[in-house]
């Protein structure tokens, strides 16, 4: 089982949109996938299948160990795609994790999934907390959306330093550009020098596109909503990079 996360300490930069689109693209290739929305605000539900259809459950029983993680999973939101929706009680995650200092509680929670799941995708909240620290530790790769501005580059460098300080694996972070507007000089300038500025290559340049915003209104992954859009092309490119990062093949179905 491979674990990836979509994370940035910045809010509203395209983590959830990418996480949902990657989860859908993975499932479409018969890779049994679980998307876990770790953000108490729970945006992934909107993008995936309409918020009112998928309600999350209170986390306390999972954290107390009295209810297995399987009970929290909505199976087959799409074929091969399972989903753990957010719940406002996910805020308590950090308190629990603080109490259990010294070991990775998130890792323990994920362990039982490995029989049925080939790929876990964690959609993170925009905070740097104990929870996100454990995400950074447990994930094989962490994909980081960056809007092409100097401030984002700054926060990218801070995140790299943090991962380095904590010895979480310096090749773990993988950046992609998000909400790219090529009419803006600054965006073009940063994109042109991306590898030098970021110290690593960028796996996709997702354009600013109203179809991505419409994912929330329609409750559909972009591949179903607008597969020919330039944003969908970039998301497919991102998925190919992720597949090669993880060495994930095509036929990993659980059925």
Ligand X SMILES: Nc1ncnc2c1ncn2[C@@H]1O[C@H](COP(=O)(O)OP(=O)(O)OP(=O)(O)O)[C@@H](O)[C@H]1O
Q: Is 43 in the site for ligand X (CB under 6 A)?
A: yes
Residues 6+ apart with CB under 8 A from 223: 21, 24, 25, 28, 232, 235, 236
Q: Which of residues 15, 172, 174, 187 is near ligand X by CB under 6 A?
A: 15
Nearer to ligand X, 13 or 81 (CB): 13
- 192 makes contact, choosing from ligand X, Mg ion, none, with CB < 5 to 8 Å by partner type, with none
Nearer to ligand X, 238 or 252 (CB): 238
Tokens 């010294």, located at residue: 102
Radius of gyration of the chain (CA): 17
164-203 binders of Mg ion (CB under 5 A): none
- 208 makes contact, choosing from ligand X, Mg ion, none, with CB < 5 to 8 Å by partner type, with ligand X
- 212 makes contact, choosing from Mg ion, ligand X, none, with CB < 5 to 8 Å by partner type, with ligand X
Binding mask 204-223 for ligand X (x = CB under 6 A): --x-xx--xx--x-------
36-55 binders of Mg ion (CB under 5 A): 43
Nearer to ligand X, 72 or 125 (CB): 125
Q: Is 16 in the site for Mg ion (CB under 5 A)?
A: yes
83-122 binders of ligand X (CB under 6 A): none
List b or e across 220-250, with b for residues whose CB sees 16 or more CB atoms inside 10 angstroms. Answer: bbbbebbeebebbebbbebbebbbebbebee
Work out the number of other CB atoms within 10 angstroms of the CB of residue 27. Answer: 23
Rounded distance, CA 63 to CA 90, Å?
Answer: 10
Rounded distance, CA 160 to CA 63, Å?
Answer: 30
Q: Using an 8 Å Cβ cutoff, are 124 and 6 in contact?
A: yes
CB of 40 to Mg ion, least distance (A): 10
Under the rule (CB under 6 A), what is the footprint of ligand X?
A: 11-17, 39, 43, 126, 178-179, 206, 208-209, 212-213, 216, 231
């Amino acid at each position: 089982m491979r674990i990836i996360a979509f994370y940035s300490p910045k809010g509203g930069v395209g983590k959830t949109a990418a996480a949902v689109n990657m989860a859908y693209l993975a499932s479409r290739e018969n890779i049994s996938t679980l998307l876990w929305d770790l953000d108490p605000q729970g945006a992934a539900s909107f993008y995936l299948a309409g918020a009112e259809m998928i309600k999350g459950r209170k986390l306390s029983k999972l954290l107390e160990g009295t209810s297995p993680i399987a009970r929290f999973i909505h199976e087959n939101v799409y074929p091969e795609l399972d989903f753990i929706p957010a719940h406002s009680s996910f805020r308590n995650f950090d308190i629990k994790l603080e109490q259990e200092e010294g070991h990775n509680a998130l890792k323990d929670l994920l362990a039982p999934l490995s029989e049925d799941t080939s790929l876990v995708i964690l959609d993170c909240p925009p905070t740097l907390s104990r929870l996100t620290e454990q995400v950074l530790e447990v994930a094989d790769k962490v994909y980081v959306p960056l809007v092409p501005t100097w401030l984002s580059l700054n926060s990218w460098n801070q995140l790299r330093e943090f991962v380095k300080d904590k010895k979480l694996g310096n090749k773990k972070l993988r950046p992609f550009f998000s909400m790219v507007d090529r009419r803006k000089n600054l965006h073009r300038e940063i994109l042109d020098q991306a590898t030098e500025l970021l110290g690593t290559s960028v796996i996709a340049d997702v354009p600013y596109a109203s179809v991505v915003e419409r994912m929330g209104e329609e409750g559909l992954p972009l591949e179903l909503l607008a597969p020919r859009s330039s944003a969908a092309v970039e998301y497919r490119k991102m998925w190919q990079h992720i597949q090669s990062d993880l060495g994930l093949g095509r036929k990993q179905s659980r059925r």
